[in-house]
Structure formats: structure tokens, C-alpha cells
Amino acid sequence: MNERPSAITLRAVYSALFLLIAITTAGLGQASAPKFRVIALAEHGGIHQPFVDAAKQWLGDLSKQENFSVDYIEDTEKIDDDFLSHYQLFIQLNYPPYMWTPKAMAAFQKYIEQGRGGWIGFHHATLLGEFDGYAMWPWFHEFMGGIRWKDYIAKFATAKVVVEDAKHPVLQGVPASFMIENEEWYTYDRSPRPNVHVLAHVDESTYKPDTKTKMGDHPVIWSNERMKARNIYIFMGHHPELFQNEAFTTIFKNSILWAAHP
């Protein structure tokens, strides 16, 4: 004759089940919480929209793999100290350094100078000068190494980018040189090198087709180490095919994981 389980045995079984459920639930909660939060200021419309769209898709995939969250804004109206306090990384996704509200400019400056979060800027972020009726932002001008936009290769060119600091976390796993196809390569009134830490430059002798639009010393990836915030500027960022370039995506991924942590 089978014996019925005692009340003590049942309590022990129930306790074990409840403990297992609690542990599992806690584990799922921890796994779902993002490691860090990213805000991306994305340029809307125009010739850079395909790059922005490709970046959003790529970031969506990467954020799932690396367990971080990404929010997007298309203007600077929401940006203030409180808004930025919710994010550990600010990505300037081709949005230029003008058309910002004064409140946003002040909050962003503190965010960078005080190291409240990291920053990655692409391409259009160095469109420094007088554009669309806006004056140049003096602080951002200094942040980018004291440069002013001068010219660009309107018909595009393919060229070799040469790594200068292979030991930097942003360039881990990146070859000593790599090709970037059909980019419009900005030139500036001066090299930012005296004021920033250059990580890579474009070898202008490799332009195909060749062009007279050159500046000599031509950095394309750099970091302003005078700021407390970890920051990276990446010039490349005009067309969506960049997300098929392994060197570019490795640099982007490395930049996110490095800049998001103080």
C-alpha cells in the first residue's frame, strides 16, 4: 500500500519550487536590464538618411547582442541636464553642430566636460562653420580640435585609411590599414592633430579617382583627451554600404563599448 506524502515533505517540495521560481525570475530580470542606455541624435531626411536608416538597423541588432538600449531623437528640443542623465552614451548620428537649442548646447557641454557620459560623432558632426544661417558653435569648434570645414570631394573617392594607434581600444581587431569606398572626404582649414589624439588618417595618395581636394595631414578618426568624457569622432558616415565594411563596423562597435563606460 502506497503511503501519502507527509505535510512536512510537501512543504519542503513547495519551498524548493518557490525558491527555484524566485531565482529564475530574478535571473531573467537581471538579463533583461540593459547594461547601459544610448541616445542617438539622428539626422533626418536628405542625402544621409540611407546611412542613418542602416545605422539604426545595425544598432538594433548589436544592442540585442550586447544588451544595451538605444533611443532616437531628430532634434535637440528634449536635451537638457535631466534628459542626458538617463544615458551613458550620446551618438551624434550625422547631425551637424548647429540647429541646437541654447539649453541643449549648455547641457551637452557639461555632459562632455564633466564626463557624465561618452560620445561618438559621425561625418556631419564636423560641419563647422556658418551654415544655413547659423553661426559656428565656438565650444564645439574647440571640441573637434579647432577645425573649420573647408571643402569636400563632391564626386567621392575610394581611399586607404591608416591606423595610427593600434593599441587604442577603439581599434582592437582592426587591420593596420583598410579601404573605404566612395566617401566624400571633408577637408578642414587645418589638421586637428595638435589638439586631439589621432587614431587614424586617410592616405590621400591612394584616392581613386585622384583629386586636388587634399589637406596633407588628414586625420579621420580621433579623440579629444582634454575632455573627461570618452569621445570618438569617426569621419566616415555618408552611405549605408559602410555597414558591409568589417573594419568600419568593428570600429563602431568598439567605440560604443569603450565610450559608454567611464
User: Which amino acid makes up residue 129?
Assistant: G
| pLDDT at residue 6 in the model | 56
| pLDDT at residue 32 in the model | 75
Cell of 119: 560620445
| pLDDT at residue 28 in the model | 41
| Whole-prediction pTM | 0.88
| pLDDT at residue 136 in the model | 97
Is 202 within 8 Å of 185 (Cβ atoms)? yes
Distance CA 55, CA 236 (A): 12
Of 256, 223, 247, nearest in space to 175 by CA: 247
| pLDDT at residue 9 in the model | 53
pLDDT in tens, 111-168: 999 999 999 999 999 999 999 999 999 999 999 999 999 999 999 999 999 999 999 9
Place of cell 589621432: 198
Is 175 within 8 Å of 247 (Cβ atoms)? yes
* 3 state SS of 203: strand
User: Which amino acid makes up residue 47?
Assistant: I
Write out 11-52 in H/E/C secondary structure.
HHHHHHHHHHHHHHHHHHHHHHCCCCEEEEEECCCHHHHHHH
The segments of the chain whose pLDDT lies below 70 read: 1-31
